[in-house]
Amino acid sequence: MPDPSIFRDMDSAAGHLADAIQAGRNIVVFGDYDVDGATSAALLLRFIAETGGIASPYIPDRLLEGYGPSGEALESLARAGAELVVTVDCGTQAFEALERAQAAGLAVIVVDHHKAGWALPPALAIVNPNRLDEAPDAAAHGHLAAVGLAFLLAVAVNRLLRQRGHYAARPEPNLLALLDLVALGTVADVAALKGLNRAFVTQGLKLMARRGNTGLAALLDVSTPDRAPRAGDLGFHLGPRINAGGRVGQSDLGVRLLTTQDPATAAGIARTLDALNEERKGIEAAVLDQALSQPQGDRPVVVAAGEGWHAGVLGIVAARLRSGTTARRSSSGWKGHWQRLGPLDCRRRSGAAVLSARDQGLLVTGGGHAMAAGLTVEAGRLEALVEFLQAALAEPVARARQDRALAIDVALAPAGATADLAEALEAAGPYGAGWPNPRVALGPVRIVKADIVGTDHLRLIVQGADGARLKAMAFRQASTALGVALLSARGQSVYLAGRLAQDDWSGGPMAELHIEDAAVCS
C-alpha cells in the first residue's frame, strides 16, 4: 500500500478532517447513490464514529437531485449546521455547487476518482489520482475506486490522530476491518483488479466471509448461497441490490445498511433492497426492449433515447447495448448515461470525447471515469452531440473492430471440466476488470438439451466424444444471435468458449461453463 501522502491534497484533507473530529464539529459525508458512493460514505462514517467524531450521511435522490453535490443541497446543509462536508465518489466537476458552498461559508473536502480537467472547483482539498497535475507515483493509482481512496484518507487521518495522542484514552479504530467495504465498492464499480485493488479485494473477501459487518451479513443472507463470497458475488449479487435503493427506491438505503449495528434493522433493509432489485429488473427489461427496438446500424456509437424512461436504469441499459448511450427526455432536455465498452484505447478516447463535448458546449454537464459517464444535454442539442461522438470515435472503434479474435487460455474435453479444476481456477482469483477469469474452449461437443430459464438465460447440456456431460449457461443471451444459434443447434456439434465456474445450485460439487461465444460445426 502506498503512503497516502503521495496524493495531492491528501495531507491537507487529513489535517482538516482530523481537526474537525477532535473539535467535535458537525461533519457530513456526501456520497453518490451507487455502490462505490455508498461504501465510501459508510467507510468514513464508521471510521469517524470509532474516532469519537460526529458525522452523518447525505445521499442525493437520483431522480430529484441528480448526480453529485448541488448548490441547493450544500446550502441547505450549511443552514442545518454542517461545518465540514466530505464528498465521496463525486465533486471533481461540481464547480457551481462548490462555489455556492464557499459563499455560504461551508468547508468542503473532495474525495473522488472521476476524470478531471485542468481547472478544479474551490475546496479545502481535492484528493483524486486522476487530477491532471497529479505526480506520477500517485497517478499510477488512478484505477482506484473512490472507496479505496476513502480508505487511504482514513489511514492518513488515523496516523495523524495517533501522532497527536488522540488515542491515549480511547481504542484506535481497526482499519483492516473496513476492507470488506473496500472490496465491495471496488468490484461493483468495475475498477481494475490490479495492484492495490487486487490486495484490497483479496483481503476484503476474507473479512466478508467472517460476516463482521452486520449489514453485509444480512445482504449475503438474502442474495447468495450458503458459502464464502467470491468476487463475482460482489458484482452480480450484492452490488445490484445496494444500487437498487438509488435506482428505484430510497437513495440512502445502502449507507444505512452498511453502517447499522442492529441485526433486525439490517435484515429489514436487506429484504427491502432485495425486493427493489426485483422491481428494477422489470423496469430495466421494459426500457431495454424499447432501446433495442430503435435502429442501431453499424455506427461507432449506439444512441437510444425515449420519453419517460426511468433514470435509474439508464446506465444498465446502456451496458446492454453493444456500446453506447441511453437518454430520457426531461422538461429541460435529455439526461443520459454513457457506457464505454471495448478495448482500453476506446474507453480512454470516449472519455476524452465526453469532456471535449462538454467543453464545446454540446453538453450541459458530463463526466465520469474509465467505464461510464453521466450526461445532460439541452433539448435541441442531442443530434449535434450524436454526430460529434460518431466523428470523434470513428477511428478508434474501427481499429478495435479489426481484431475480433477471442483469446483462449485452455482447451478442454468435457471430462476435463471438473469441479476440482473450477475450484483451482477460482483460487487464482479474485477475477474482475483487468484480471479476467481464464477463458476455456470446449469441443467439439453435441448439444443434448437446450432450454430457456429465468430471465432470458439459456441452459445447455452438452456431451463430448468421451461421453462426459457438462452444464453450460449463456446468461441474458436467449434472445440474442448467440442464443438463437445455440437453440437451433440442438443435436448438432459445436465449439464453446467461456469461463469455467463452480455450480452452486446442483446440490454437489460440480462445474459449469459460462458461455461467451460459440461456433457451430459445419
- Output the pTM of the full model: 0.83
Which is higher by pLDDT, 292 or 149? 149
pLDDT interval class at 290 (50, 70, 90):
confident
- First-to-last alpha carbon distance for the chain, in angstroms, is 53
Element (H, E) at 214: helix 214-223
* 178 CB-near residues (< 8 Å, 6+ apart): 43, 46, 47, 151, 154
DSSP assignment of 302-315 equals: EEEEEET--GGGHH
Amino acid letter, 49: A
- Measured at the CA of 33, the angle between CA 351 and CA 50, to 5 degrees, comes to 115
Pick the closest to residue 375 from 353, 391, 390 (CA basis): 353
What pLDDT is stored for residue 349 in this prediction?
Answer: 63
User: How large is the average pLDDT for residues 132-154?
Assistant: 97
pLDDT at 330 over 60: no
For residue 147, list its beta bridge partners.
Answer: none
pLDDT at 338 over 80: no
* 242 CB-near residues (< 8 Å, 6+ apart): 35, 38, 184, 188, 219, 253, 254, 257, 258, 273
Kindly list the structural domains of the chain, giving each domain's residue range(s) and its CATH number in brackets, ordered by start.
Answer: 4-275 (3.90.1640.30), 296-401 (3.10.310.30), 410-520 (2.40.50.140)
Task: Give the total residue count for the chain.
Answer: 522
Query: Among 40-54, 299-313, 331-345, 435-449, where is mean pLDDT lowest?
Result: 331-345
What pLDDT is stored for residue 460 in this prediction?
Answer: 95
In angstroms, the CA 450 to CA 469 distance is: 13
ω before 430 within 30° of 0 (cis)? yes
For residue 373, list its beta bridge partners.
Answer: 338, 368
Cell of 30: 456526501
Pick the closest to residue 344 from 400, 292, 296 (CA basis): 400
In angstroms, the CA 53 to CA 45 distance is: 9
